[in-house]
Amino acid sequence: MKIKKLVFASVCVMCTVFAFSAVKSVPAEKGIKKIATVAESFGDGEKVSAVIITYSNKIDAASVNLNSYTVECIENGKTVLRTVEEVSVDGKNVTLKLAYVNKWDATNGKMPQRPKSSEGENVQADNGPRFDDDGVPVDVTASITQIADIKAKNGTIYKAGSTSIKSTSSTELVLQDFKKYYFTDKETGITLPYFVYLPKNRQSMNQL
């Protein structure tokens, strides 16, 4: 009887040791496979509205909260720390919804005046809003840093760190639904590109 108890105890110890050894920890940057952003057009321009982080394993939702990451975006040529207002987990994906801040709030909704050149023409201010017509493209990338441990459902721990990881793809809502067409003036031969938004229930320009 004592031998059976000893064998049983030994098996339990071995199982416990195996269970602990099966749990592994890896740096966050090793577990994150992809980062994508979602951009939307607002009253003050296009902005990143969400970040989708894809891990190599399914994530335990209970291990993720609003303070698990920091998110930085480029706005008007400057790095801005964005506030995460909502977190959701779907399998391997963690989605961070970012709080929207209107850049014109600081001026009570008034567009900052641009300085004038010696000829009296408006010139681009370094601290004013920048639009596509200023020749400065909108940056829809984001850089995230996982600052808290995240746990996968298989027990893997993605350790917090200080490494910033940049997004590699983006979905631009609404804008991606615009179709590009061209108009060519027969007299001058000049070709003008233009964009048209087609509702989903229309398939071609002929239905407009």
Q: pLDDT tens digit string along 97-140?
A: 999 988 776 666 565 555 555 665 555 444 434 444 444 578 99
Of 31-40, 86-95, 128-137, 187-196, minimum mean pLDDT range: 128-137
**What is the torsion angle, in degrees rounded to the nearest 10, for the CA atoms of residue 143, residue 146, residue 152 and residue 156?**
120
pLDDT at 31 over 50: yes
The confidence score (pLDDT) of residue 83 equals 96
For residue range 186-201, what is the model confidence (pLDDT) as tens digits? 888 888 877 676 777 6
Extract the tokens encoding 42: 């607002």
Strand pairing category for 142-146 and 165-166: antiparallel
CB within 8 Å of 200: residues ≥ 6 apart? none
The confidence score (pLDDT) of residue 114 equals 54
Strand pairing category for 157-159 and 25-27: parallel
Separation in Å, CA 163 to CA 70, 156, 181: 11, 19, 43
pLDDT at 169 over 80: yes
Give this prediction's pTM. 0.66
